[in-house]
Amino acid sequence: MSLKIKNLTVRFGGQTAVDDVSLDVPAGQITGLVGPNGSGKSTVMNAATGVLVPDRGSIHIKDKLLHPGRPGDTARAGLGRTFQIPRLARRLTVFQNLLAGARDQPGEQLFSLFFRPRRVADAERSIEKRAHAILKRIGLAAKLNTLAGELSGGQQKLLTMGMLLMSDCKVLLLDEPAAGVNPALIEEQILLLQSLRDEGRAILLVEHNMGMISRLCDSVCVLDSGIKIAHGDPETVQRDPRVIASYLSMQPEQAPAKSQEAHQ
């Protein structure tokens, strides 16, 4: 299942945050979305998830046009996202957070709850089984009873990815999964993302960590002031003079070299 963003333009008042950006996020690939702070990456993500209605352009999943401003429809179509700051129920356990990530649980419907109790119990057992398998996969099996708020930042990010897997999202938008995460957990994230790609999921990865981008991405799209200035394989893009110029004009704390240091 692929994601296509066509001719996206988003304005905030007089400011154009994203200017006629088109982007394909194919199934079975990891597509990077990079650019200096304020270049429009989150705005693209917000338009793709349907929480933001663009001034122009359209979003398609598996060639089906999505109606802007209807995030519920977008989620049902199989798209899920994580955030720079993980959104979790911090006072629930890791396992409870995962269970909350499952969609279409029959126990949520009063009719099923009262008149089809066996079906509800069977569904709950299968959801719990899936949650255990996902816990293993994200490396948090030993933490199932830990409160989500007590996990490290990196573990919280792994948990939010696990929640997307609970709802079996086929298109994953990941917002800076490596930011503030220790190098050992970044390695776990990389292995997880490679396996998700190999399963045929489409992944859009927003990340300042250029080491992670180079290792993982099949292609990279670079934004600068809302404009797409380059798109291609990571090596070619990093040698592109417009990309170099764009990053050279960044503040030192945003520059890719710093992210690479954090990665090493």
Residues making contact with ligand ATP (CB under 6 A): 12, 17, 35, 37-43
Cα separation, 238 vs 246, whole angstroms: 11
Nearer to ligand ATP, 54 or 78 (CB): 54
Of 220, 260, 261, the residue nearest 243 (C-alpha)? 220
Instruction: Order across the sheet with 171-175: list the strands.
Output: 79-81, 171-175, 202-206, 29-34, 219-224, 227-232
What sign for the dihedral angle of Cα 130, 84, 53, 48? negative
Cβ-based neighbour number of residue 45 at 10 Å: 20
The residue (of 39 and 238) whose beta carbon lies closer to ligand ATP is 39
Least distance in Å: CB of 11 to ligand ATP? 9
Question: What is the rounded CA–CA span in Å between residue 36 and residue 172?
Answer: 22
Q: In the complex with ligand ATP, which residue's Cβ is closer, 37 or 109? A: 37
User: Residue 17 CB, nearest distance to ligand ATP (Å)?
Assistant: 3
Separation between Cα atoms, residue 132 and residue 140, nearest integer Å = 9
Q: Could you give the angle at the alpha carbon of 259 between the alpha carbons of 256 and 264, nearest 5°?
A: 125
Report helix, strand or coil for 224: strand
In our burial notation (b when 16+ CB lie closer than 10 A, e otherwise), range 95-126 reads bebbbebbeeebeeeeeeeeeeeeebeebeee
